Amino acid sequence: MRERKSIFHNLDWYLVGFYLLFVFMGLISIYAAVYNPESPSILDRSQLYGIQFVWIMSSLLLATIILMLDVKIFSSFSYLIYGVSMLMLILVLLFGKVISGSKSWFHIGGASLQPAEFAKFATNLALASFLSNLDNNLKTAKTVFIAGFILLIPTALILLQNDTGSAIVYVSFILVLYREGFSGNFLILGFVTAILFVFTLMVGKYLVLGIIAAITIVLFLITQKARKNLFTLFGLFAVIVAFVFSVDYAFENILQDHQKERIEILLGKKTDLKGAGYNVHQSLIAIGSGGFAGKGFLQGTQTKYKFVPEQSTDFIFCTVGEEWGFLGSSLFVFLYLGFLVRLLYAAERQRSAFSRIYGYGVASILFFHMAVNVGMTIGLAPVIGIPLPFFSYGGSSLWAFTILLFIFIKMDSYRLELL
Amino acid sequence: MKSNYSKRKYVIISIFLVIGLVYLLRLFYIQVIEDKYILSAQNNVIRKETIYPSRGLILDRNGKVMVANHVVYDILITPNQVGRMDTLRFCNLLDITKVQFIELYKKARKYSPYKASLFVGQLSKEDFAYLQESLHEFPGFFSQKRTLRYYPYPIGALNLGDIGEVNQREIDRDNYYSSGDYIGKNGLERFYEQELRGQKGIEFVMVDVFNRKKGSYKEGKYDTLAHPGKNLFTGLDAELQAYGELLMHNKLGSIVALEPSTGEILALISSPTYDPALLVGRKRGENFNKLLNDSLKPLYNRALMATYPPGSTFKMVNALVALQENAITPDTYFSCQGKSSQPIKCTHNHMTPLSLENGIQQSCNPFFWQTFRNILNNPRYRNSHDAYEAWYNIVKSFGLGEKFNSDLMFESAGNIPSKAYYDKAYNGQWNAMTVRSLAIGQGEILITPIQLANMAAIIANRGFYYPPHLVRAIHTRENLTKSATNKKTVSVDRRHFYPLIEGMEKVAKVGGTASRASMDSIVVCGKTGTVQNPHGRDHSVFIAFAPKDNPKIAIAVIVENAGDYGGTWAAPITSLMMEKYFYREIRRKEKEKQILEADLIPK
């Protein structure tokens, strides 16, 4: 069993293929976004695309190394890896460098490293390790509590770095918990909460309360069951009322000004095309002006002339939308969905719960990143600065996502042996 | 029993797919259905730069440039491209305060956050030179070159007119204009706006987010060239205009000098006047308000708009009508009882009885009363009303009581009372006696200075005129304007002018009412007038032409509140104007000094 023919044995070539395709598409997009006619070589290391090429090459090396490692390392050392990762998050708080308001970067030599990116796969490993233990059952409060604790530590530490975007990513683990038996009601509760939150801010609390009261009365009048459960019905009503009132309070007092602004702009309550709304507005212009077939490679005027900020990192999707049009961006969405579905498929075929949970974690994290990142460029999500996996410029995120994915690919190639 | 939950994968896949589908729909909407983003994208990168053509020049009859162009720079702003910058330094470079900066910014933003609009206009080449070097440090601001009017001589302000920024009404009326463009507001600039303005050109350039030019859009496929405006060749004599303005300094009134054979205006002076340069550049608005509120009304073009009873100068028209209607002949003598004449007394001492020639020389009121009475009591007509109608028609043929409609802005028509007017005023019961004031150019009759000058030109031409006009040709000297070829003949035969002109010659000689108008070698024919002014001292009027044969100039001069008779002030001014026109220099320095020193503005 130990004698493996090659690291490529039993490898899921679909996932590897998707990975290589995305990394390549990302490089092309970065090239187009920051294209400098004086340095047209994609390998020119004085340009962002040249640097990204180096990151890609090193990521491939990293992926190869992961594939060569003993697969048992990940399950055995999952808590250790988690612990080291959390330590890094603490260290960066103490010794990190502040970049655009967030104290989340280590500056070593000429390179910058963002521990929060690496905390994702570490947390995923720890969670998978914990939940795969047969003693733990998400129906019990204790398990839920500990699982929540595993997630809360990195979330809190990253929040302390003032990197809200990276912290919010941990919300995505709710899908993993759900898959492993966590009550679906919480998923619904989360959904309802989000809807109530948005509606309260959009139309005002009194209108929302009116609607809720109306629904309660109608339920009371038309259903027998509701009348029997009078206590539950009105208890629920009271909770909702309290929540609606707290939304206003939370919005006004807990959120920071720039966060409030981003939410208000997303909800259309405020337009500030020069300030906080500028990014989204320009991003919409870039993508929208791509039209059906796009403007063509290197022909995107909005990105080329730098109207879209952060165009190589958080707003990289604009380049895709502008230069390749609806054809290109819908192809992107299809490819990404295909990738995610393939991940779920691969996760489900694992014999080991650890691998399966880890696989779900990978899919959830990548999905959340894609949904928020693309959503923000097309005005469907608030501006949260998180990268588009494999596309956005940046070494830390590319390395971290490569590690995240290839640990699973490694596990998957051992799916028949791991239990 | 964890496998129980394996069905939950469908829920999770569904969430993925639903989000994916929502995103696809959204992308389809913004990329395929909604096209506002394409427009916004073009607004972002394509900047339409207007290439302003140089405005046509205005030249005088000797080819001297009276209105020229010089280059200035406008600073434009695209508010939503304004970024982080050293505002204080920018204000210093533009020489504005921070408060003004904020105000201007707000104004531009109100106009449009995306579209460029004027921020600060008309920086001189020198001022702009400093700013130009660092303009790239101020995102959202860019410069545009344009030309501004420049006046080599500080004269002829009201004739030449001025240009100013278009207002909303003008933009609505003609879509050639857009906010910040300039348009002729008065005078020739306004009348010949279409010819002077030329054709704007458009250049599309690609810019980046910092508004740096990145090249032309589609290799200039959509660019259009600017066509310069056409030059105006006027009949004005810049030197004469300048001299006239000088003579009228500290006086209220007008001088109009025409070339009789062509109707070209040699000089058109309304006093007080102003330096046309006052209405150019950044101080335009401020200066305009000052002029507008000046109690002496320098913006009011008296030469075209002020109407006066013509006084004795009108006697010549009456004489011509009488001769044409055979109501008198050159040999008709009328008597004058001097100050005891009825119903109009004479103001001069002279022989009696007297003929037309002497009647004109002496401006004898009784002579012209009797002439006028003969016109209205002409046996040719059934009654005096019909005779009046005949008088009226001939008078109108002199271009009186109506506008010339050549190229003069804001003319007044003046007034020649019609038969219907008197029928109404006197209930149909009126006769020569009732309207006797007309005999000596008083009463309801009102004439503008330019009409008066044209009257002199008609007499000089012995019966025809071209409507007085400023511009003789456009674009080339040969391309004559309509006014320059619009010859009109009056309803008085040529032969009737000769006896009149003999009388006018005597006016300007020693013994005439305007001996002050005399010159040594050129025979001047003239006629004085005094306009009764119920508000103050009488106005002094003089019309003249010279030389007697083949006249080159016809003039009307009105000096308001000058008192006395036309001969006192108006005649010597006329004489000096003629001397200037014929000799280009003034030898009668004493006479000139007397006029220049006179201050006739009522205090």
The residues near A379 (Cβ < 8 Å, ≥ 6 apart) are A266, A280, A283, A284, B26, B30
What residues of chain A lie within 8 A of the CB of B80, using their CB? 273-274
Which residue type sits at A164? T
Residues 359-398, chain A, touching B (beta carbon < 8 A): 360, 363, 367, 371, 374-375, 378-380
What mean pLDDT is reported for chain B? Answer: 89
Is residue A325 less than 8 Å (CB to CB) from chain B? yes
Domain spans in chain B, listed from the N-terminal domain onward: 51-206+215-234, 238-277+297-597
Tell which A residues from 172 to 211 touch B, by Cβ distance under 8 Å.
175, 178-181, 184, 187
Query: What's the pLDDT at A1?
Result: 45
Q: What's the pLDDT at B580?
A: 93
A-B C-beta contacts closer than 8 Å: 124
- Is the CB of A150 inside 8 Å of chain B's CB atoms? no
- Enumerate the residues of chain A whose CB falls inside 8 A of the CB of residue B6: 348
Distance CA B65, CA B238 (A): 9
Give the closest of B32, B41, B207 to A285, CB-based.
Answer: B41
Taking the CA of residue B304 as centre, how many other CA atoms within 13 Å lie in the half-sphere pointing to its CB? 23
| B426/A contact by beta carbon, under 8 A | no
B519, B505 Cβ separation under 8 angstroms: no
Kindly report, residue by residue over B302-361, the tens digit of the pLDDT: 999 999 999 899 999 999 999 999 999 999 999 998 888 888 888 878 888 999 998 998
Quick check: B22 contacting A, CB < 8 Å? yes
Q: What pLDDT does residue B474 have?
A: 94
Evaluated on CA atoms B273, B275, B277, B283, the torsion sign reads: negative
Give tens-digit pLDDT for B484-520.
899 999 999 999 999 999 999 988 776 666 666 666 7
Distance CA B291, CA B281 (A): 15
Min Cα–Cα distance to chain B from A301, Å: 7
Evaluate whether B56 touches B471 at the Cβ level (below 8 Å): no
Q: Closest partner residue to B23 among A304, A306, A374, by Cβ?
A: A374
Interface contact A336-B20, CB threshold 8 A:
yes
In one letter, which amino acid is A23? V
Predicted local distance difference test score (pLDDT) of residue A363: 96
Chain A residue with minimal CA distance to B208? A305
Report the gap between the CA of B204 and the closest CA in chain A (Å). 14
Q: Which of A90, A112, A89, A63 is nearest to A313 (CA)?
A: A112
What is the dihedral angle through the alpha carbons of B231, B235, B239, B244, rounded to the nearest 10 degrees?
-130
Residue that is written with structure tokens 């919480």 in the block? A186
pLDDT at B218 (0 to 100)? 74
Facing residue for A288 by CB, picked from B16, B17, B34: B34
**Distance of residue B121 Cα from the nearest chain A Cα, in angstroms:** 25
Average pLDDT over residues B124-147: 82
Find out whether A360 and A344 touch, Cβ atoms under 8 Å.
yes
Look at A306 and B210 and tell me if their CB atoms are within 8 Å: yes
A182 versus B156: the higher-pLDDT residue is B156
| Average confidence (pLDDT) over B119-126 | 84
Q: How distant is the Cα of B4 from the closest Cα of chain A, in angstroms? A: 8
B6, B31, B32: residue with CB nearest A348: B6
Chain A residues inside the 8 Å CB shell of B36: 288
Beta bridge pairs of residue B77: B117, B141
Q: Give the pLDDT score at B566.
A: 58
Quick check: A353 and B2 CB within 8 A? Answer: yes
Closest CA to B579 of B528, B526, B520, B529: B520
Q: Of B36, B41, B113, which has the smallest distance from its Cβ to A286's Cβ?
A: B41
CB contact under 8 A, B30 and A360: no
pLDDT tens per residue across span B466-480: 999 999 999 998 888
Is-contact B154 B275, C-beta < 8 A?
yes
* B30 contacts chain A (CB < 8 A): yes
ipTM of predicted complex = 0.88
Q: Which helix (H) or strand (E) holds A65?
A: helix A48-68
Distance in Å, alpha carbon of A138 to nearest chain B alpha carbon? 10
pLDDT of residue A390: 95
What is the mean pLDDT of each successive set of 10 residues along chain A, which is 419 residues long? 67 95 94 82 83 93 93 92 94 82 74 87 95 85 91 93 88 91 82 75 74 79 71 78 77 72 66 63 88 86 76 88 94 96 94 94 96 90 87 92 96 84
In this complex, the residue of A340, A348, A375 whose CB is nearest that of residue B16 is A340
Q: Six-digit token pair at B442? A: 């008083």
Asked whether the beta carbons of B416 and B326 are under 8 A apart, the reply is no
Answer whether B31 sits within 8 Å of A329, measured CB to CB: yes
Residue type, position A316, single letter: I
Instruction: Report the distance separating Cα A206 and Cα A241, nearest Å.
Output: 10
User: Given B24, B30, B41, which is nearest A333 (Cβ)?
Assistant: B24
- H-state helical runs in B29-97: 36-45, 87-94
Q: What is the pLDDT of residue B602?
A: 83
Distances in Å between the Cα of B549 and the Cα atoms of A32, A156, B21, B359, B397 are 86, 109, 98, 22, 23
- B238-277+297-597: CATH architecture: 3-Layer(aba) Sandwich (3.40)
Q: What is the rounded average pLDDT of the residues B76-90?
A: 84
Q: What is the DSSP string of A6-36?
A: -TTTT--HHHHHHHHHHHHHHHHHHHHHS--
CB B375 within 8 A of CB B321: yes
A285–chain B Cβ distance below 8 A for any pair: yes
pLDDT tens readout for residues B187-220: 999 999 999 999 888 888 887 766 667 777 777 7
B26 in Cβ contact with A378 (< 8 Å): yes
Indicate whether B451 pLDDT > 90: yes
B27 closest CB neighbour out of A187, A304, A326: A326
| DSSP tag of A37 | T
For residue A304, what pLDDT is reported?
A: 74
The confidence score (pLDDT) of residue B223 equals 81
Examine residue B272 and say whether the peptide bond preceding it is cis (omega within 30 degrees of 0): yes
B351-396 pLDDT, tens digit per residue, is 889 999 989 988 899 999 999 999 999 999 999 999 999 999 999 9
Helices (H), ranges, A115-267: 115-132, 141-160, 164-168, 173-179, 184-203, 205-222, 224-228, 230-253, 257-266
Name which of A273, A289, A375 is nearest B41 (Cβ-Cβ). Answer: A289
Residue type, B187: G
Measured CA to CA in angstroms, residue B472 lies from A111, B58, B325, B363 at distances of 79, 11, 35, 36
Amino acid at A301: T
- Between CA B424 and CA B443 the distance in angstroms is 16
Instruction: Inspect the interface and report whether the beta carbons of B23 and A380 lie closer than 8 Å.
Output: yes
Beta bridge partners of B354: B334
Contact residues for B306 (Cβ-Cβ < 8 A; gap 6+): B254, B270, B300, B412, B448, B449, B558
B403 phi, psi to nearest 5 deg? -80, 150
CA distance A57 to chain B (A): 30
Angstrom CA distances, A12 to A196, A402, B448, B494, stand at: 42, 15, 102, 115
CA–CA separation, A67 and A16 (whole Å): 12
Residue B564 in this model has a pLDDT that exceeds 70: no
Distance CA B260, CA B555 (A): 9
Percent of chain B with pLDDT over 70: 96
pLDDT digits (tens, 9 = 90+) for B25-40: 999 999 998 878 887 7
pLDDT at residue A272, rounded to an integer? 55
pLDDT of residue B138: 86
The class level of CATH for B51-206+215-234 reads alpha beta
**Mind telling me how many Å the CA of B51 is from chain A's nearest CA?**
24
Omega before A382 cis (within 30°)? no
Neighbouring CB atoms inside 10 A of B508's CB total 31
Q: What confidence tens digit (pLDDT) does each residue in B50-60 have?
A: 888 889 999 99
CB of A77 within 8 Å of a chain B CB? The answer is no
The pLDDT score that the predictor gives to residue B511 is 61
Phi, then psi, of B335 in degrees rounded to 5: -95, 160
pLDDT at B2: 44
Task: Judge whether B8 is closer than 8 Å to chain A, CB to CB.
Answer: yes
Instruction: Read off the tokens for B175.
Output: 């879509």
Look at residue B172 and tell me whether its pLDDT is greater than 60: yes
Q: Cβ A341–B210 below 8 Å, yes or no? A: no
Distance CA(A118)–CA(B82), nearest Å, equals 39
CA atoms within 13 A on the CB side of B285: 4
